[in-house]
Amino acid sequence: MNDKRVTNTQNQAASRSSFSGKIGYVLAVAGSAVGLGNIWRFPYLAAKYGGGIFLLVYLILMLTFGYTLIVSETALGRMTKKSPVGAFHAFGKSVPFQFGGWVNAVIPMLIVPYYSVIGGWVLKYLFEYLRENASLLAADDYFTGFISAGADVEIWFLIFSAVVIFVIIAGVKRGVELISKVMMPLLVILAVIVAIYSMSRPGAMAGVKYFLIPNFENFSWMTVVAAMGQMFYSLSIAMGILYTFGSYMKQEVDIEKSTVQIEVFDTGIALLAGLMVIPAVFAFSGGEPESLQAGPSLMFITLPKVFDSMGLGTAAGIMFFLLVFLAALTSAVSLAESGVSTFEDQLGWSRAKACALMGAVIVLFGSVSALGFSVLDFVQPLGMTPLDFFDFLTNSIMMPVAAFCTCILIVRVAGIGRVIKEVELSSEFRRKKLYCFFLKYLAPVCIAIILASSIAGVLGWIVL
Ligand code: PHE
């Protein structure tokens, strides 16, 4: 097996397993990519930052910058057979290399705690649907009451995290892959049905137009910043994950083709989620600016109303929140797994110890996010709730930095030629010229924009 190589990071020789085949790789990455980012985060950002114009900016960025980064990270992972810290080390050991590797590796550790809080919200809704409380959930103030009550949020967050840690300790990753194979087609079917229903509500067409037709009046720099952060988040890029996936990838898997497949799939689900949620905002609350700005709570407020009005509220609610729970679980497992393997590889820790530390990080940071709407509501870093703060810190500050490090590593150290060679081992690489252009020119510009805008936002020069 060509992927069983001796690693030189640690004292001992270690062997890497690999994905079973071409489709195994795509499915594993898709399982990690499709999650709360597509279903919960994408619709609320699109609603908040201008609808069609947000979508347009998102699509352009995904096809250019996103494509470049997926190819780069995967190729570097496959070339070095290492996760991010080791991959950067393979090219040098000085401080900038340490920094580049670690900034990539730390991001998932900061995301998984607050990700698990939202996972907990999903579980709570699933539980209430199972108790046939469909109309209770559809009531106007239900969500606000729930998150400001505190204890309940913490309990469901802990349950979700326990499941994630259990999956990682028990090593039932195969089971998770199986879940995502069954879950994904079901999720698509259900999302199509709900989206059609949602779009056919009276008044919903205004929402479809708002979401699909770009209106340049709605453009602001925050549209670009939010779209770029969302692209990183949804495609699981700029956080070391794809290095790790690449390191498990066999040489014969076509990097270019699989990148396209992953992008199509991930974006398809996000579009469907947008079509479920945004038209419903218009149908049920007239698309007032206030409801469009609802933020992280949007899905939890809007969809229960849709399900309730379907007449089949309970069944639809159970199916939907079960599938979202599974999608969130597969993503959370891959985030946490990335943290655990960094501890194992870089600190030479046992798996049990690494899982314990990951668990502690989740409980600590996650609890602050979970309780930030209630008992800890005085904790307002940069004037945001802790959950928004962690989201902002990782997406708008750390990920652009991580992406920048990857670009520099390729352009200045590894050499674009080597990366291209790696891709060409198994791909025709038809977009080679574009790739070079994006990497050298577009990526630095995008990164500069997102960083500058985020800092301007923090300083209060622009509204975040
Ligand atoms: N891409 C996932 C989502 O959209 C989030 C995630 C990021 C999962 C990184 C794994 C790794 O929800």
Ligand 1 pocket test, pick from 164, 236, 242, 399 with the greatest ligand atom count within 8 Å of Cβ, gives: 236
Q: Is the pLDDT of residue 179 over 80?
A: no
- Between 299 and 21, where is the model more confident? 299
* Predicted local distance difference test score (pLDDT) of residue 11: 34
Confidence class for position 366, pLDDT limits 50, 70, 90:
very high
Q: Is the pLDDT of residue 315 over 80?
A: yes
Is the Cβ atom of 241 under 6 angstroms away from ligand 1?
Answer: yes
Is 196 in a helix, a strand, or coil? Answer: helix
Q: Lowest-confidence range among 10-19, 84-93, 160-169?
A: 10-19
For residue 35, give the ligand 1 atom closest to its CA. Answer: 12
CA torsion through residues 361, 35, 39, 303, sign: negative
Residues 6+ apart with CB under 8 A from 1: 18
Q: Calculate how far, in angstroms, residue 184's C-alpha sits from the geometric centre of ligand 1.
A: 15
Residue nearest to ligand 1 atom 4, measured at CA: 37
pTM, to two decimals:
0.89
Ligand 1 pocket test, pick from 184, 187, 234 with the greatest ligand atom count within 8 Å of Cβ, gives: 234
* Predicted local distance difference test score (pLDDT) of residue 13: 32
Q: Calculate how far, in angstroms, residue 36's C-alpha sits from the geometric centre of ligand 1.
A: 7
* Predicted local distance difference test score (pLDDT) of residue 56: 97
Is the Cβ atom of 38 under 6 angstroms away from ligand 1?
Answer: yes
Is 325 in a helix, a strand, or coil? Answer: helix
Distance CA 442, CA 41 (A): 25
Q: Is the pLDDT of residue 8 over 60?
A: no
Confidence class for position 14, pLDDT limits 50, 70, 90:
very low
pLDDT tens digits, 377-422 = 898 888 889 999 999 999 888 999 999 999 999 998 998 999 999 9
DSSP letter at 40 equals I
Q: Is the pLDDT of residue 5 over 70?
A: no
